[in-house]
Amino acid sequence: MNTFMKKTVIATLFSLSMSMVGLSQADTLKLGVAGPHSGDLASYGIPTKSAAELVVKQINAKGGVNGKQVELVIEDDVCKPEVATNTATKMVSEGVKIVLGHICSGATKAALPIYKDANVIVISPSATNPGLTQSGDYPNFYRTIASDDAQAAKEVDFALNTLGLKKIAVIHDKGDYGKGLAEFAKKFLEEAKNGEVVLYEGVTPGAVDYSAVVQKIKRSGAEAVIFGGYHPEASKIITQMRKKRMKTIFISDDGVKDKTFIKVAGKYAEGVYATGPQDNSKNPLSKEAIDAHKAAHKKDPGAFYENAYSAALAILNAVEQAGSTDYDAVSKALHEHATATPVGDIKFDERGDATGVGFAMYQVKDGKFVEANK
Protein backbone atom coordinates (compact mmCIF):
# COMPACT_ATOMS: atom_id res chain seq x y z
CA MET A 1 0.00 0.00 0.00
CA ASN A 2 1.51 3.31 -0.99
CA THR A 3 1.50 6.45 1.03
CA PHE A 4 -1.11 8.09 -1.12
CA MET A 5 -3.49 5.24 -0.53
CA LYS A 6 -2.73 5.40 3.17
CA LYS A 7 -3.37 9.11 3.27
CA THR A 8 -6.60 8.75 1.36
CA VAL A 9 -7.83 6.01 3.63
CA ILE A 10 -6.96 7.98 6.74
CA ALA A 11 -8.52 11.10 5.31
CA THR A 12 -11.63 9.22 4.33
CA LEU A 13 -11.88 7.57 7.69
CA PHE A 14 -11.27 10.87 9.38
CA SER A 15 -13.89 12.69 7.38
CA LEU A 16 -16.25 9.78 7.85
CA SER A 17 -15.76 9.83 11.55
CA MET A 18 -16.18 13.58 11.52
CA SER A 19 -19.38 13.29 9.59
CA MET A 20 -20.48 10.54 11.98
CA VAL A 21 -19.96 12.98 14.81
CA GLY A 22 -21.79 15.59 12.81
CA LEU A 23 -24.59 13.14 12.10
CA SER A 24 -24.97 12.07 15.68
CA GLN A 25 -25.04 15.68 16.79
CA ALA A 26 -27.65 16.55 14.27
CA ASP A 27 -29.69 13.44 14.82
CA THR A 28 -30.11 13.05 18.56
CA LEU A 29 -32.20 15.10 20.90
CA LYS A 30 -30.67 15.27 24.35
CA LEU A 31 -33.07 14.91 27.25
CA GLY A 32 -31.46 15.64 30.60
CA VAL A 33 -32.63 13.63 33.61
CA ALA A 34 -31.59 15.10 36.94
CA GLY A 35 -32.50 13.88 40.39
CA PRO A 36 -31.23 11.79 43.28
CA HIS A 37 -30.06 8.43 41.96
CA SER A 38 -27.93 7.58 44.95
CA GLY A 39 -28.03 8.45 48.62
CA ASP A 40 -30.91 8.29 51.06
CA LEU A 41 -33.42 9.99 48.76
CA ALA A 42 -32.60 7.85 45.74
CA SER A 43 -35.99 6.17 45.93
CA TYR A 44 -37.56 9.49 44.87
CA GLY A 45 -35.33 9.89 41.82
CA ILE A 46 -34.92 6.42 40.40
CA PRO A 47 -38.55 5.96 39.30
CA THR A 48 -38.18 9.14 37.22
CA LYS A 49 -35.04 7.75 35.59
CA SER A 50 -36.90 4.52 34.72
CA ALA A 51 -39.84 6.51 33.40
CA ALA A 52 -37.54 8.54 31.15
CA GLU A 53 -35.81 5.40 29.88
CA LEU A 54 -39.09 3.67 29.10
CA VAL A 55 -40.62 6.69 27.37
CA VAL A 56 -37.49 7.28 25.31
CA LYS A 57 -37.27 3.63 24.32
CA GLN A 58 -40.86 3.72 23.16
CA ILE A 59 -40.46 7.00 21.26
CA ASN A 60 -37.18 5.95 19.65
CA ALA A 61 -38.80 2.72 18.49
CA LYS A 62 -41.43 4.80 16.72
CA GLY A 63 -38.77 6.87 14.96
CA GLY A 64 -37.90 9.46 17.60
CA VAL A 65 -38.83 13.11 17.78
CA ASN A 66 -38.80 15.10 14.52
CA GLY A 67 -36.84 12.23 13.01
CA LYS A 68 -34.16 12.39 15.70
CA GLN A 69 -33.41 9.68 18.24
CA VAL A 70 -33.68 10.82 21.84
CA GLU A 71 -30.58 10.46 23.96
CA LEU A 72 -30.68 10.60 27.76
CA VAL A 73 -28.15 12.60 29.76
CA ILE A 74 -28.54 11.34 33.30
CA GLU A 75 -27.05 13.26 36.21
CA ASP A 76 -27.28 12.63 39.94
CA ASP A 77 -27.97 15.62 42.20
CA VAL A 78 -28.53 13.57 45.41
CA CYS A 79 -31.32 16.07 46.21
CA LYS A 80 -28.80 18.60 47.47
CA PRO A 81 -29.04 22.22 46.30
CA GLU A 82 -25.23 22.62 46.25
CA VAL A 83 -24.81 19.55 44.04
CA ALA A 84 -27.75 20.50 41.86
CA THR A 85 -26.02 23.67 40.69
CA ASN A 86 -23.11 21.56 39.41
CA THR A 87 -25.54 19.16 37.79
CA ALA A 88 -27.22 22.04 36.02
CA THR A 89 -23.93 23.51 34.83
CA LYS A 90 -22.93 20.13 33.46
CA MET A 91 -26.25 19.72 31.66
CA VAL A 92 -25.88 23.14 30.07
CA SER A 93 -22.30 22.48 28.97
CA GLU A 94 -23.37 19.20 27.38
CA GLY A 95 -25.80 21.14 25.21
CA VAL A 96 -28.94 19.81 26.84
CA LYS A 97 -31.94 22.00 26.01
CA ILE A 98 -34.67 20.13 27.87
CA VAL A 99 -34.40 18.65 31.35
CA LEU A 100 -36.67 16.25 33.18
CA GLY A 101 -36.16 17.07 36.87
CA HIS A 102 -35.09 17.96 39.41
CA ILE A 103 -36.88 15.93 42.01
CA CYS A 104 -36.61 17.83 45.29
CA SER A 105 -37.94 21.38 45.55
CA GLY A 106 -34.74 22.70 47.16
CA ALA A 107 -32.45 21.23 44.50
CA THR A 108 -34.78 22.40 41.75
CA LYS A 109 -34.78 25.92 43.08
CA ALA A 110 -30.98 26.01 43.21
CA ALA A 111 -30.60 24.70 39.66
CA LEU A 112 -33.27 26.81 37.96
CA PRO A 113 -31.35 30.12 37.62
CA ILE A 114 -28.56 28.31 35.73
CA TYR A 115 -31.02 26.71 33.35
CA LYS A 116 -32.86 29.99 32.94
CA ASP A 117 -29.71 31.81 31.82
CA ALA A 118 -29.02 29.07 29.30
CA ASN A 119 -32.62 28.99 28.01
CA VAL A 120 -33.10 25.40 29.11
CA ILE A 121 -36.63 24.20 29.73
CA VAL A 122 -37.08 22.26 32.97
CA ILE A 123 -40.02 20.02 33.77
CA SER A 124 -40.26 18.44 37.21
CA PRO A 125 -42.41 15.46 38.14
CA SER A 126 -42.21 16.11 41.87
CA ALA A 127 -41.11 19.59 43.04
CA THR A 128 -44.21 20.82 44.87
CA ASN A 129 -43.00 24.09 46.43
CA PRO A 130 -45.67 26.65 45.46
CA GLY A 131 -43.12 29.45 44.84
CA LEU A 132 -41.39 27.62 41.99
CA THR A 133 -44.22 28.48 39.63
CA GLN A 134 -46.05 31.19 41.52
CA SER A 135 -43.15 33.56 42.08
CA GLY A 136 -42.85 34.14 38.33
CA ASP A 137 -39.06 33.98 38.68
CA TYR A 138 -38.68 30.89 36.54
CA PRO A 139 -40.58 31.10 33.26
CA ASN A 140 -38.57 28.08 32.07
CA PHE A 141 -40.04 25.83 34.77
CA TYR A 142 -42.96 23.44 34.38
CA ARG A 143 -44.26 20.60 36.50
CA THR A 144 -46.66 17.68 36.27
CA ILE A 145 -47.51 17.54 39.95
CA ALA A 146 -49.83 19.77 41.89
CA SER A 147 -48.15 22.30 44.15
CA ASP A 148 -48.50 22.16 47.93
CA ASP A 149 -51.28 24.72 47.96
CA ALA A 150 -53.34 22.94 45.32
CA GLN A 151 -55.34 21.03 47.92
CA ALA A 152 -56.27 24.21 49.71
CA ALA A 153 -57.17 25.81 46.38
CA LYS A 154 -59.33 22.80 45.54
CA GLU A 155 -61.08 22.89 48.93
CA VAL A 156 -61.83 26.60 48.68
CA ASP A 157 -62.94 26.39 45.07
CA PHE A 158 -65.21 23.46 45.87
CA ALA A 159 -66.78 25.17 48.87
CA LEU A 160 -67.36 28.51 47.18
CA ASN A 161 -68.03 27.63 43.59
CA THR A 162 -69.32 24.06 43.57
CA LEU A 163 -71.32 24.11 46.79
CA GLY A 164 -72.00 27.85 46.62
CA LEU A 165 -71.15 28.53 50.27
CA LYS A 166 -70.19 31.93 51.66
CA LYS A 167 -69.13 31.59 55.29
CA ILE A 168 -66.25 29.26 56.02
CA ALA A 169 -64.55 28.34 59.28
CA VAL A 170 -60.93 27.28 58.83
CA ILE A 171 -59.66 24.96 61.57
CA HIS A 172 -56.26 23.29 61.78
CA ASP A 173 -54.28 21.03 64.11
CA LYS A 174 -51.30 23.41 64.59
CA GLY A 175 -49.02 20.94 62.74
CA ASP A 176 -46.80 21.77 59.73
CA TYR A 177 -49.07 20.01 57.33
CA GLY A 178 -52.43 21.04 58.73
CA LYS A 179 -51.53 24.62 59.52
CA GLY A 180 -49.76 25.03 56.18
CA LEU A 181 -52.90 23.96 54.36
CA ALA A 182 -55.13 26.08 56.56
CA GLU A 183 -53.03 29.16 55.91
CA PHE A 184 -53.35 28.67 52.17
CA ALA A 185 -57.08 28.06 52.49
CA LYS A 186 -57.44 31.27 54.48
CA LYS A 187 -55.42 33.21 51.92
CA PHE A 188 -57.49 31.88 49.01
CA LEU A 189 -60.74 32.61 50.83
CA GLU A 190 -59.62 36.16 51.52
CA GLU A 191 -58.65 36.63 47.89
CA ALA A 192 -61.93 35.22 46.62
CA LYS A 193 -64.67 37.79 46.28
CA ASN A 194 -67.54 35.44 47.10
CA GLY A 195 -66.57 34.02 50.45
CA GLU A 196 -65.29 34.99 53.90
CA VAL A 197 -63.39 33.37 56.74
CA VAL A 198 -65.66 33.58 59.78
CA LEU A 199 -63.34 31.67 62.09
CA TYR A 200 -59.68 30.68 61.99
CA GLU A 201 -58.48 28.49 64.85
CA GLY A 202 -55.98 25.81 65.78
CA VAL A 203 -56.95 22.90 68.01
CA THR A 204 -54.63 20.89 70.24
CA PRO A 205 -54.18 17.36 68.89
CA GLY A 206 -54.98 14.65 71.41
CA ALA A 207 -57.25 16.80 73.58
CA VAL A 208 -60.00 14.86 75.35
CA ASP A 209 -62.77 17.01 74.02
CA TYR A 210 -63.35 19.54 71.24
CA SER A 211 -66.83 20.68 72.16
CA ALA A 212 -65.75 24.26 72.97
CA VAL A 213 -64.31 24.80 69.51
CA VAL A 214 -67.34 23.07 68.01
CA GLN A 215 -69.63 25.53 69.83
CA LYS A 216 -67.49 28.32 68.50
CA ILE A 217 -67.91 27.06 64.94
CA LYS A 218 -71.65 26.99 65.50
CA ARG A 219 -71.70 30.54 66.83
CA SER A 220 -69.57 31.82 63.95
CA GLY A 221 -72.45 30.87 61.63
CA ALA A 222 -70.10 28.99 59.32
CA GLU A 223 -71.78 27.01 56.56
CA ALA A 224 -68.73 24.81 56.18
CA VAL A 225 -65.57 23.90 58.02
CA ILE A 226 -62.32 23.53 56.13
CA PHE A 227 -60.07 21.43 58.35
CA GLY A 228 -56.33 21.11 57.83
CA GLY A 229 -54.92 18.11 59.64
CA TYR A 230 -55.18 14.37 60.06
CA HIS A 231 -58.04 11.96 60.65
CA PRO A 232 -57.93 11.47 64.45
CA GLU A 233 -58.80 15.12 65.14
CA ALA A 234 -61.12 15.29 62.13
CA SER A 235 -63.15 12.35 63.38
CA LYS A 236 -63.42 13.83 66.88
CA ILE A 237 -64.54 17.20 65.55
CA ILE A 238 -67.07 15.80 63.09
CA THR A 239 -68.47 13.45 65.73
CA GLN A 240 -68.93 16.25 68.24
CA MET A 241 -70.45 18.53 65.59
CA ARG A 242 -73.02 15.93 64.61
CA LYS A 243 -73.76 15.10 68.25
CA LYS A 244 -74.49 18.78 68.78
CA ARG A 245 -76.95 18.39 65.89
CA MET A 246 -74.95 20.65 63.60
CA LYS A 247 -75.32 20.08 59.88
CA THR A 248 -72.25 22.15 58.96
CA ILE A 249 -70.47 20.80 55.91
CA PHE A 250 -67.04 19.38 56.64
CA ILE A 251 -64.28 19.65 54.04
CA SER A 252 -60.80 18.32 54.62
CA ASP A 253 -57.62 17.09 53.00
CA ASP A 254 -55.80 13.90 52.08
CA GLY A 255 -54.71 13.50 55.73
CA VAL A 256 -58.36 12.71 56.37
CA LYS A 257 -59.05 10.75 53.19
CA ASP A 258 -58.15 7.53 54.90
CA LYS A 259 -60.23 4.50 55.62
CA THR A 260 -59.43 4.78 59.34
CA PHE A 261 -61.38 8.05 59.33
CA ILE A 262 -64.53 6.27 58.13
CA LYS A 263 -63.95 3.39 60.53
CA VAL A 264 -63.55 5.67 63.54
CA ALA A 265 -66.13 8.35 62.75
CA GLY A 266 -68.60 5.69 61.57
CA LYS A 267 -72.00 7.09 60.69
CA TYR A 268 -70.83 10.64 61.39
CA ALA A 269 -68.34 10.37 58.50
CA GLU A 270 -71.18 10.27 55.97
CA GLY A 271 -71.19 13.29 53.71
CA VAL A 272 -67.74 14.52 54.69
CA TYR A 273 -65.68 15.89 51.82
CA ALA A 274 -61.96 15.29 51.51
CA THR A 275 -59.48 16.03 48.76
CA GLY A 276 -57.13 13.34 47.57
CA PRO A 277 -54.81 12.68 44.65
CA GLN A 278 -56.82 12.18 41.51
CA ASP A 279 -57.47 8.63 40.51
CA ASN A 280 -55.69 7.71 37.27
CA SER A 281 -56.45 4.02 37.37
CA LYS A 282 -59.14 4.34 34.70
CA ASN A 283 -56.74 6.03 32.29
CA PRO A 284 -55.42 3.41 29.80
CA LEU A 285 -52.14 5.33 29.47
CA SER A 286 -51.55 5.00 33.19
CA LYS A 287 -52.00 1.26 32.99
CA GLU A 288 -49.72 1.13 29.96
CA ALA A 289 -47.00 3.07 31.79
CA ILE A 290 -47.21 0.85 34.85
CA ASP A 291 -47.23 -2.31 32.76
CA ALA A 292 -44.15 -1.11 30.88
CA HIS A 293 -42.37 -0.67 34.21
CA LYS A 294 -43.46 -4.07 35.45
CA ALA A 295 -42.24 -5.69 32.23
CA ALA A 296 -38.87 -3.93 32.40
CA HIS A 297 -38.16 -4.07 36.13
CA LYS A 298 -40.41 -6.88 37.39
CA LYS A 299 -41.88 -4.65 40.11
CA ASP A 300 -44.33 -1.82 40.71
CA PRO A 301 -42.99 1.65 39.99
CA GLY A 302 -42.04 3.95 42.86
CA ALA A 303 -42.72 7.55 43.80
CA PHE A 304 -43.66 10.09 41.09
CA TYR A 305 -43.33 7.49 38.33
CA GLU A 306 -46.55 8.47 36.57
CA ASN A 307 -45.79 12.17 36.91
CA ALA A 308 -42.34 11.61 35.45
CA TYR A 309 -43.70 9.46 32.63
CA SER A 310 -46.19 12.22 31.85
CA ALA A 311 -43.53 14.93 32.06
CA ALA A 312 -41.28 13.06 29.62
CA LEU A 313 -44.16 12.57 27.19
CA ALA A 314 -45.24 16.20 27.50
CA ILE A 315 -41.82 17.75 26.93
CA LEU A 316 -40.97 15.45 24.00
CA ASN A 317 -44.35 16.11 22.44
CA ALA A 318 -43.77 19.85 22.83
CA VAL A 319 -40.42 19.55 21.02
CA GLU A 320 -42.17 17.57 18.28
CA GLN A 321 -44.85 20.26 17.97
CA ALA A 322 -42.28 23.05 18.01
CA GLY A 323 -40.18 21.29 15.39
CA SER A 324 -36.97 22.13 17.27
CA THR A 325 -35.63 22.74 20.75
CA ASP A 326 -35.93 26.49 20.28
CA TYR A 327 -36.84 27.91 23.71
CA ASP A 328 -39.73 30.12 22.61
CA ALA A 329 -41.22 27.53 20.30
CA VAL A 330 -41.10 24.76 22.91
CA SER A 331 -42.55 27.04 25.60
CA LYS A 332 -45.37 27.98 23.28
CA ALA A 333 -46.05 24.32 22.50
CA LEU A 334 -46.12 23.39 26.22
CA HIS A 335 -48.73 26.07 26.83
CA GLU A 336 -50.84 25.37 23.76
CA HIS A 337 -50.71 21.69 22.85
CA ALA A 338 -52.23 19.16 25.18
CA THR A 339 -50.44 15.84 25.50
CA ALA A 340 -52.20 12.61 26.37
CA THR A 341 -50.37 11.24 29.44
CA PRO A 342 -51.01 8.85 32.34
CA VAL A 343 -52.15 11.78 34.50
CA GLY A 344 -54.59 12.99 31.88
CA ASP A 345 -54.50 15.27 28.85
CA ILE A 346 -52.23 18.02 30.10
CA LYS A 347 -50.98 21.37 28.98
CA PHE A 348 -49.46 24.07 31.12
CA ASP A 349 -50.89 27.31 32.44
CA GLU A 350 -48.99 30.58 32.20
CA ARG A 351 -47.18 29.82 35.46
CA GLY A 352 -46.04 26.38 34.38
CA ASP A 353 -48.39 24.18 36.39
CA ALA A 354 -50.00 21.35 34.47
CA THR A 355 -53.71 21.96 34.10
CA GLY A 356 -55.99 19.23 35.27
CA VAL A 357 -53.30 17.58 37.38
CA GLY A 358 -53.85 17.52 41.05
CA PHE A 359 -56.46 16.79 43.56
CA ALA A 360 -59.98 15.59 43.21
CA MET A 361 -62.76 16.04 45.76
CA TYR A 362 -64.12 12.90 47.36
CA GLN A 363 -67.13 12.43 49.59
CA VAL A 364 -68.02 9.70 52.04
CA LYS A 365 -71.04 7.81 50.76
CA ASP A 366 -72.21 4.57 52.37
CA GLY A 367 -68.91 4.15 54.19
CA LYS A 368 -66.66 4.75 51.18
CA PHE A 369 -64.88 7.69 49.60
CA VAL A 370 -66.33 8.31 46.16
CA GLU A 371 -65.48 11.13 43.81
CA ALA A 372 -67.82 14.05 44.50
CA ASN A 373 -69.31 15.24 41.25
CA LYS A 374 -71.84 17.68 42.49
Partner 1 sequence: MEYFIELLFSGLTRGSIYALIALGYTMVYGIIGLINFAHGEIYMIGAFTAYIIASVLSILGFPALSIIVLAGLAAAIWSSAYGYTIEKVAYKPLRHAPRLSPLISAIGMSIFLQNYVLLAQTSDFLAFPELISDFDFMEPIAHIVGTTDMIIIVTTIVVMLLLTLFIKMTRMGKAMRATSQDRTMAKLIGINVDRVISITFIIGSALAAIGGILIASHIGQINFYIGFIAGIKAFTAAVLGGIGSIPGAVLGGFVLGLTESFATGYVSSDYEDVFAFSLLVLILIFKPSGLLGKQEVQKV
Contact residues toward partner 1 (CB under 8 A) are: 174, 201-204, 206-209, 211-216, 218-219, 231-232, 235-236, 239-240, 243-246, 260, 263-266, 268
Nearer to partner 1, 167 or 216 (CB): 216
CB of 11 or CB of 212, closer to partner 1:
212
CA distances for 318 relative to 47, 55, 121, 324, 339, angstroms: 22, 14, 11, 9, 8
Indicate the residue type of 340. Answer: A
Between residues 6 and 263, which has the closer beta carbon with respect to partner 1? Answer: 263
Angle CA 15–18–24, to nearest 5: 140
Determine how β-strand 339-341 pairs with β-strand 368-371.
unpaired
Q: Closest approach of Cβ 156 to partner 1, in Å?
A: 21
Q: Which of 90, 167 has the CB closer to partner 1?
A: 167
In whole angstroms, the minimum distance from the beta carbon of 236 to partner 1 comes to 5
The Cα 30–Cα 72 span in angstroms is: 6
H-type alpha helices, the chain: 3-27, 42-61, 81-93, 105-117, 131-134, 150-157, 176-191, 211-220, 231-243, 259-265, 284-297, 305-322, 327-336
Min dist CB 261 to partner 1, Å, is 9
CA angle at 210 for the pair 269 and 171, rounded to the nearest 5°: 75
User: Cβ 98 to partner 1, closest distance in Å?
Assistant: 45
For partner 1, give the closer residue by CB, 239 or 310: 239
CB of residue 204 to partner 1, shortest distance in Å: 6
Measuring CA to CA, which residue among 53, 54, 49, 29 is closest to residue 37?
49
User: CA-CA distance, 368 to 265, in Å (whole number)?
Assistant: 12
- Report the alpha-carbon distance of residue 247 to residue 265 in Å, rounded: 15
- Number of other residues whose CB lies within 10 A of the CB of residue 200: 17
Give 58 or 215: the residue with its C-beta nearer to partner 1: 215
d(CA 81, CA 251): 36
Comparing CB distances to partner 1, the nearer of 62 and 267 is 267
- DSSP structure class, residue 68: B
Q: Which is nearer to partner 1, 154 or 242 (CB)?
A: 242
Residue 66, SS3?
coil
Name the residue nearer to partner 1 (CB basis): 6 or 368: 368
Residue 262 CB, shortest distance to partner 1, in Å, is 9
In the complex, minimum distance from the CB of residue 105 to partner 1, in angstroms, rounded to a whole number:
28
CB distance 340 to 285 below 8 Å: yes
The side-by-side arrangement of strands in the sheet containing 141-143 is 69-76, 28-35, 98-100, 121-124, 141-143
Task: In angstroms, give the least distance from the CB of 179 to partner 1.
Answer: 10
Q: Shortest gap between Cβ of 213 and partner 1 (angstroms)? A: 5
Residue 246 near residue 274, CB atoms below 8 Å: no
